[in-house]
Structure 1
Amino acid sequence: MRRFFQSAALLPFALATAAYAQPETAEPAPLAELVEQVDIPYQTFTLPNGLTVLVNTDRKSPVVGVTTYYRVGSKNEPKGKTGFAHLYEHLFFGGSENVENFDVPLEGAGSTSTNGSTWYDRTNYVETVPTGALDLALFMESDRMGHLLGAVTQDKLDKQRGVVQNEKRLGDNQPYGLAEYLTGDALFPVGHPYRHSTIGSMADLDAATLTDVRKWFTDNYGPNNAILALSGDIDVATARPLVEKWFGDIPAGPKVVMPVSPVVTLDAPKREVIADQVPVTRIYKVWSGPGLNDPASPALAAGMSVLGGLSSSRLDNILVRDEQLAVEVTAYALQFEDASFLQAQVDVKPGVDPAVAEKRLDEVIAQLVKDGPSADELLRAATRSVSSQIGALEMVGGMSGKGATLAEGLLYSGNPAQYKADLEATARLTPTGVQSALQQWLGRPSYTLVVEPGERTLDGATLGGWSDDGNEVAPPPDAKTPAPAIAVGAPRKMPPVAPVAELTFPKVQHAMLSNGIPVTLATRTAIPKVSVSLDFDAGYAADGSARAGTQSLMMDLLEEGTTSRSAVDIAEEQERLGASINTGTSLDKSSVTMTALTANLAPSLALMADIARHPKFADEDVARVRDQRLAEIQQQQAAPTSLAQRALRPLVYGTAHPYGSVGSAGKSSVIEALTPGILSQAHNTWLRPDLARITVVGNITMDMLVPLLEQAFGTWQVPSAPAPAKNLDIAVPAAKQRMVVIDRPNSPQSMIMMAHVLPITGTTPDMESLDLANQVIGDGFLSRLNLDLREEKGWTYYAYSSLTENEGPSMVTAYSPVQTDKTGDAIKAMIANMKAFPGEKGVNEVELQRVTDGNIRGLPNSFQTNSQVLGAITGNQNLGRPDDYYSRLPAIYGAIDAQAIDAAAAKYLQPDNMIIVVVGDRKQIDSQLAGLGIPIEYHDASEF
């Protein structure tokens, strides 16, 4: 949805490119000036069949974002048909009358972000393709718009039904995973379009018939109910004949009538308390609100940001920092076309009476509603929002690219340039206006949901539909009655992919500060922003198992106060500057990163340097953040995926190796013992100039940059003590196959993770061959694991594998959340797929073309944003690769043949010595696992 204060999705625009001179003053650039620069130029035309086409020309990369919106979502679903819009989205990828599998030709052509999504108001489909593949992409989209039904079979319906039901199980299986269902049920009456969830109910999904889904297509997927947005290396003169060629003969469909979605006000406050397998009590306060075109919507979004969206929000400052009643808070306005959810939530600090926390939450909300925000709070909220949009201007396609922004403006507001009106309205907001909107909408009765630790008694399978109490008779399941055959038209020929432009990676420059800190810069002028990464050779590998969590807690505390600034000062200053500064740890690096407006770079760097160099580690801050971290660890131990991840590294690497810790969050026993003195010592030991490197990407030159960095970091002197070093050569345990089972009762899915250590690092000569072999087996939608477990068997929402790129030994992991009754069979299938590659089934021609030519063609898509370029440069630095590595990569991929890929799979990807971690309900899975013939150990979640 298109709203700027929502943290769920940042929506991009285009910006008139300008080179910004660094101002001498440290004052932030005026908000109105920033808003004026945001622009997405577009042209539009409409075909006789009603298809509306939007075209945005952006020549910075030789790619085109293809974005298709259909004006149909879950709010269009009648009783007994919940989940249909989303189920059909899945079917839309299953092939058409002239294309067997949409992803194969698109990925082979270099497409990225090939995906679709469904929500209340719409269904969309996206791909970003090299310019030479635009003809192919338009053919594909037109073939499934106008030539689909003949390829929709009972077999495809059954398989995708299973996939969608496992997607539902995946969400339901998370801590607090049932809250969304209860919120919709409480706020809206039965039959209201926004009441039931988009995922729907299990019963309705079971009842979907082939006739039903065919009717959904013919009723809703006509060109007159669609918007096609093309953004990037394209213009109207080129686009119009291509669109007419492929879409012009598709007949218009019936006019879609939108359901009535009235704004609803509760008669009285509602309150509900449920138990769930959660570590801390969470309190939700939710109101229904107006649709996104209501005049009050920008003010409500800003008000909720002031309440709990900003780092310096009211809830953060009062409930977390000052009174320490909560470990985490948030508030936001989730705005849709005809309604919104105005929500605040609080995770109560362990040991605090939830009633006390809830009372204080109510008081903070009431105070904001009564008095409204201050002018400074509102300015900070608006500046942060506008800065986020400028930072998101770089993407042409994808779920939140410029094409999506234009399409949503037209779809919901009748104006592709609605983003301009929204930004201008944001800049014009006043405290009085926000106060009035909050009083109007938050002054109404709310719904309170309290989720307490305990045994879950609600069943997610029964939730998500229209039913008021869950006791209504379910619709009959699909009888699989044969449906009449669909007449198929004359075959359409798939167009070839035209030559694709080569990757042009930005020029990388180097300098050094007077204290020896190396500086790397790639200048990019697409937007007036700069991304900065200050990296230290530390990471959570610097802790090992014995001190697990020390490094990351120290890094977290950098933002909690310096010798001259409080945590609130730091948060507020970032928001005024439109900057975003984050601290954290990866396996090998501890980093302070920042995105900043070029116009505000000098004061932003000064703030960044103060955070990195002069942390205070005050007793009260350490105690508070330590308690938050302990709660975070409890949350990880309660969630299936993160629990499996915590268990994996100690088992695979062994606790003696620096990589053998439970992850950056660390162990509770270590965190509890950390003091300001210990953290200060860790800071002084690891965060020092001779372990540092600064990398910058964005709209600035080296001549402008170095003086600013000298001012911020040049006086930082190297300490007299020798620099520490990590010993990554410690031996890891001998690899052998075994299974570790962690009981998680009442789980509708089991999380499976399989891994072993590889005798390679990122610079191993055959690393690229291994990377391509991994793409064949598990890295991507078309990988063998995903096609088998998800698309063929329907047992999971995803099955993937991944390779780590480390300074030390790497790790390969295969993983999938599978429905509980298929746990044992899924492990067998994963092992069988990996064993068969390459012995019984070497890489085939289609796979080889996809992972070689497809990757080469897709490289220009991979570096549209400053952050993507920054990640590539820092990755090269960490792994000792040359600056021009990505420019060389097409030639490297082009030289890799099937034999090399098969050899890498045989050498590195065999499952015989993998450790298998399973998080699931032992009552349901023990008998399945016993027959696998793999040694089994049983562990408790608290051990990891």
Structure 2
Amino acid sequence: MYRTALRLAAAVSLTALAAPALAQGTARTSLTDLVNQVNIPYETFTLPNGLRVIVHTDRKAPVVAVSVWYHIGSKNEPAGKTGFAHLFEHMMFYGSENAPGAFFGRLEEIGATDWNGTTWFDRTNYFQTVPTGALDRMLFLESDRMGHLLGAVTQEKLDNQRGVVQNEKRMGENEPGGLVEYAELAALLPVGHPYRHSTIGSMADLNSASLEDVKNWFREHYGPNNAVLVLAGDIDLATAKQKVTRYFGDIKRGPDTPRPAVAIPTLPAPVEKVMFDRVAQTRVQREWTAPGAVDQESNLLDLALDIIGGLGSSRLNDALVRNEKIAVGVSAGLQVQENLSFAEISARVKPGGDAAQVGRRVDEIVAEFLKNGPTEDEVRRAATTTLANRVKGLEQVGGFGGKAVALAEGAVYSNDPAEYKKDLQTIAAATPASVLAAARKWLARPAFRLTLAPGERSAADQALAGNDTAAVEAPAVKNQVAANTPAPTRPQPAVGQLAALQFPAVERTTLSNGMKVVFARRSTVPVVRVAAAFDAGSAADDRAKLGTHALMVSLLEEGTTTRSSAQIAQEEERLGATVSASGGLDSTSVSVAALKANLAPSLDLLADIVRNPAFAPGEVERLRTAQLARIASEMTQPQGIALRTLPPLIYGTQHPYGIPLTGSGSPEGVRAATRDDLVAFHAKWIRPDNGTLYVVGDTTLGEMKPLLESRFGSWRAPAVPKGVKAFTAPVPTPQPRILLIDKPQSPQSMIIAGAVTPVKGTEDPIALNIANDVIGGSSTSRLITNLRETKGWAYYAGTSLQTTKDRMPLLVIAPVQTDKTGPAITEARNDLTAWLSTKGTTADEAGRAIRNSVLSLPGSFETGSDLLGALIRNDQYGRPDNYYATLAGRYQALTPAALDQAARGVFDPAKLTWVVVGDAAKVKPQLDSIGLPVEVVGASPAAPATPAAAPRPTE
């Protein structure tokens, strides 16, 4: 995985001391004083071999985050070897000398959560959160691939992972706008600049990577002296020293990695470029290089970009989207690397609109900002929003953005694990003058001015990706452990005693109007999360007006009878609250994550949004346009196309689930929905007798009930009957076939097959869910092992069972390289057939899947949002409050025979309908030999009939 950029300043960092400083009316000096006291307590030590170790103790759960950061990324790759850092990240997941075989299975065996590996310009990291009793095993595994890898690196593994990486590259480039990154880097940075090439690399360079090249890359850059190890969670310094010394102490120091000089170039003049792609709306962008994470000025520039286009109340959002209605969305932000950043402002042009006009307005608004600067209120709202987000993230010890990340990134980039504190102090102390100075310094320079418009990709733009050489055909790998792998010399430690899940007590009460309240205490951070959840969802949509639900949901935050859309956004920012309205197939919810100090006014905002939406005609039309643009965008994305197409084929058009799984509805339905329909939908479904209030956080039910009573207790159900979803529509008899949706110029085919199962989510199908892990739901499942690990045809593949109140859908998903589309479908069908007949679940497969499900439970509810979701699911599917506390025992009682029995009649390849989105000219001949009827159709014309006008490049 390579596209996830982790920024420390955007990680999690505040303690309970910070919350009062964010209340309305608090002086800036008070905020600064409190931020100065914020701390993620840590201790450090360094082994003689140079490995730096950081330890943070957090005893809230019996888990430890283990995060290893190597200070090596694509910035360090020489010419002709682009993509090596990312390729090697993949190689390190495929066995070491004393732990042969794929790393993924070993993580699942010990119940790891929040695990992955990523590569970016400056670093490669590996991270996982494990039960405390499995820490020795995890440290052994990380140390073995740091110090004992080369004997397990084989040509077979290299060929296989080269194919996987190339399919990851194809997957990114197959998305609309998938070539933009290459154009950005080429325009902003000169030839030879360390950041100029993409982390994924070029096909030619990946093809040229030899086994010795790969081994040398490891020898040169993966020594302990080029790494930082963070242990965060149920651990202390003494224990960490003992364990880390035991497992890492004998690894020899490696050579020092040279650090290239990195300039922050300035374009001599604006650069104009127009690109064409199969996008739904024209996108106008302005981009600059900027200072990196090691420069505090990046924090001030980030605030400026938030005010310009990043906040809900940003100037671009107010002007272009809310008022002038010439754009359907805007964004602005800073992509921060170690030595430089990329500043970007973007606007999506309203369908049928004038891209040149939008570009002019973007430039005018930026120029006005650079002339007069931000207001005190704008700076405070931006800073409060940023700091509040850090408070809410403090619960997580690991993952993509937890406390381990904050400490590691500071240590790697700035040689200071507490660098995050300097970031916070800069943000808290920001003034209009300091934010303006940073913006003038970096945004007043010439910009890269990009327009991405609907059309065919040009040959020149396709060449930017470096795909002029065909991919290497990877041989099938039958045995991950090569014959020349040395015999293990380090014993693998046993997994110690593992703590059981301690699910918090669930309390219930009822308001005076009969509305139910469900509560669980979680006091690790000064945050309270409240969700009002309703039995609605997109399955409640009027069949003639599909999309009414999504349109109604989008309008809840866009104005009440007493607050305008802009006022809601500004109030959220001042409070540091995050309000979100969302909907799935079966439910609709409106939630707030509030700082405890600002809980009362945050609840005022939540209640107003839930109870009193205005559905103002002007806002209805604006959001209707935005939703139509969203649908059009989905119809340019391979997965979006498939997820919109498949459900009506398997459920029929009259079943509540026979609708696009994206939830956005149909263009015809969205156009047909009136304001009266939205009001009626709200009255029918969003009402106290159809909903429940869920609360998780640093409070008590005694404190919460009067707060909720005063805001929701007077809410009365309207006179109209409550909505009821009818699941009586018959599901069509399965008609196995292949629907091929032609998407020319696709470097990859998106394959999604589906069938309606006879099982309902309310039946609590735990055996079926574990069986799904065996065939396609885990990283060691049969499908991903076959199509990714053995064949190298796909970056990922698998199966999914979506839990729903009525009959659950089964999906088989595999984006594969174009020339393997037909063979991939054949392999998937064969895998399913063999599993159900001659090669049933083995004891090893069942044991691994069950252990992973049991051992991962303690790490699955680390955050308040995790716990809130669990409470909602329990009610939604009729489960008892102690459901998760009893789940481990139920898992452990399962057998391979029970899994096979659950799977039969559900995972039937003879009932699957296949949707393939790809280049029909190249794909259809492969499909004709499979033995299923094949129908070829063009992509749905969901995009606007009148595309936005795009300016032509100046000659």
Normalising to structure 2: TM-score of the pair?
A: 0.94
Secondary structure of the equivalent of 2:780?
coil
- 2:628 paired residue among 627, 630, 642: 630
Residues 779-837 of structure 1 deviation map (CA, whole Å, 9 limit, x = unaligned): 12111111111111111110021111111111111101111111000100111111111
C-alpha contact 1:778 1:800 (8 A) present in aligned 2:
yes
1-structure distance, mates of 2:678, 2:26: 33
How far 1:9 moved relative to its partner? 9.4
| Aligned Cα root-mean-square deviation (Å) | 2.4
- How many aligned positions are there? 931
- State the partner residue of 1:238: 239
1-structure distance, mates of 2:741, 2:170: 19
- State the partner residue of 2:946: none
1-structure distance, mates of 2:503, 2:37: 26
Matches within 5 A, 1:111-190: 111-190=112-191
Does residue 88 of structure 1 match 2:100? no
2-structure distance, mates of 1:682, 1:170: 39
2-structure distance, mates of 1:42, 1:487: 39
- State the partner residue of 1:667: 666
How far 1:906 moved relative to its partner? 2.0
C-alpha contact 2:379 2:431 (8 A) present in aligned 1:
yes
2-structure distance, mates of 1:574, 1:14: 19
2-structure distance, mates of 1:264, 1:603: 46
- After superposition, the Cα gap between the structure-2 partners of 1:475 and 1:710, relative to the gap in structure 1 and judged at 3 Å, is closer
How far 1:674 moved relative to its partner? 2.1
C-alpha contact 2:510 2:516 (8 A) present in aligned 1:
yes
How far 1:20 moved relative to its partner? 8.9
- State the partner residue of 1:353: 354
- State the partner residue of 2:641: 643
C-alpha contact 1:201 1:462 (8 A) present in aligned 2:
no
Secondary structure of the equivalent of 2:875?
helix
2-structure distance, mates of 1:650, 1:884: 36
2-structure distance, mates of 1:605, 1:94: 49
- After superposition, the Cα gap between the structure-2 partners of 1:770 and 1:490, relative to the gap in structure 1 and judged at 3 Å, is closer
- State the partner residue of 2:868: 870
Does residue 370 of structure 1 match 2:376? no
- Name the amino acid aligned to 1:820: T
Residues 323-357 of structure 1 deviation map (CA, whole Å, 9 limit, x = unaligned): 11111110001111111101001111111111111
- State the partner residue of 1:602: 600
- After superposition, the Cα gap between the structure-2 partners of 1:151 and 1:651, relative to the gap in structure 1 and judged at 3 Å, is same
- State the partner residue of 2:320: 319
Residues 364-388 of structure 1 deviation map (CA, whole Å, 9 limit, x = unaligned): 1111111111111111111111111
1-structure distance, mates of 2:708, 2:350: 40
Secondary structure of the equivalent of 1:760?
strand
2-structure distance, mates of 1:412, 1:21: 29
1-structure distance, mates of 2:143, 2:550: 49
Give 5+ residue unaligned stretches, structure 1. none
Secondary structure of the equivalent of 1:925?
helix
- Name the amino acid aligned to 1:333: L
- State the partner residue of 2:444: 443
C-alpha contact 2:22 2:576 (8 A) present in aligned 1:
no
How far 1:297 moved relative to its partner? 1.1
Matches within 5 A, 1:94-493: 94-100=94-100, 101-458=102-459, 462-464=463-465, 488=486, 491-493=489-491
Secondary structure of the equivalent of 1:560?
coil
C-alpha contact 2:308 2:332 (8 A) present in aligned 1:
yes
- State the partner residue of 1:578: 576
C-alpha contact 2:555 2:623 (8 A) present in aligned 1:
yes
C-alpha contact 1:305 1:313 (8 A) present in aligned 2:
yes
- Name the amino acid aligned to 1:782: T
Residues 286-326 of structure 1 deviation map (CA, whole Å, 9 limit, x = unaligned): 00111222231111010011111101111100011111111
- State the partner residue of 2:57: 57
Matches within 5 A, 1:542-621: 542-621=540-619
- State the partner residue of 1:819: 817
C-alpha contact 1:559 1:570 (8 A) present in aligned 2:
yes
C-alpha contact 2:8 2:410 (8 A) present in aligned 1:
no
How far 1:197 moved relative to its partner? 0.5
Residues 869-889 of structure 1 deviation map (CA, whole Å, 9 limit, x = unaligned): 111110111000111100010
- After superposition, the Cα gap between the structure-2 partners of 1:918 and 1:281, relative to the gap in structure 1 and judged at 3 Å, is same
1-structure distance, mates of 2:503, 2:217: 45
2-structure distance, mates of 1:609, 1:635: 32
C-alpha contact 2:920 2:936 (8 A) present in aligned 1:
no
How far 1:408 moved relative to its partner? 0.5
1-structure distance, mates of 2:202, 2:219: 23
Residues 2-33 of structure 1 deviation map (CA, whole Å, 9 limit, x = unaligned): xx99999951236358999999x998997447
2-structure distance, mates of 1:606, 1:861: 33
How far 1:489 moved relative to its partner? 7.6
C-alpha contact 1:28 1:599 (8 A) present in aligned 2:
no
Query: Which shows bigger deviation, 787-796 or 661-670?
Result: 661-670
- After superposition, the Cα gap between the structure-2 partners of 1:533 and 1:439, relative to the gap in structure 1 and judged at 3 Å, is same
Does residue 519 of structure 1 match 2:520? no
How far 1:656 moved relative to its partner? 0.7
- State the partner residue of 1:709: 708
1-structure distance, mates of 2:145, 2:939: 46
Does residue 75 of structure 1 match 2:67? no
1-structure distance, mates of 2:494, 2:8: 38
Matches within 5 A, 1:913-928: 913-928=911-926
C-alpha contact 1:863 1:869 (8 A) present in aligned 2:
yes
Give 5+ residue unaligned stretches, structure 2. 476-481, 943-955
- After superposition, the Cα gap between the structure-2 partners of 1:641 and 1:37, relative to the gap in structure 1 and judged at 3 Å, is farther
Residues 243-299 of structure 1 deviation map (CA, whole Å, 9 limit, x = unaligned): 111111110000111111111011111011121111111111000111222231111
C-alpha contact 1:281 1:450 (8 A) present in aligned 2:
yes
Does residue 724 of structure 1 match 2:723? yes
1-structure distance, mates of 2:421, 2:507: 36
1-structure distance, mates of 2:578, 2:472: 51
Secondary structure of the equivalent of 1:763?
helix
1-structure distance, mates of 2:686, 2:619: 20
1-structure distance, mates of 2:463, 2:216: 25
Query: Which shows bigger deviation, 187-196 or 830-839?
Result: 830-839
2-structure distance, mates of 1:374, 1:572: 13
Query: Which shows bigger deviation, 831-840 or 890-899?
Result: 831-840
- State the partner residue of 2:761: 762
Residues 416-472 of structure 1 deviation map (CA, whole Å, 9 limit, x = unaligned): 01111111110000000111111111111110111111111247764346xxxx99x
Secondary structure of the equivalent of 1:778?
helix
Does residue 682 of structure 1 match 2:681? yes
Query: Which shows bigger deviation, 729-738 or 199-208?
Result: 729-738
Calculate percent identity across the aligned residue pairs.
Answer: 48
Residues 213-261 of structure 1 deviation map (CA, whole Å, 9 limit, x = unaligned): 0000000000000000000000111111111111111100001111111
2-structure distance, mates of 1:855, 1:60: 21
Secondary structure of the equivalent of 2:940?
helix
How far 1:121 moved relative to its partner? 0.5
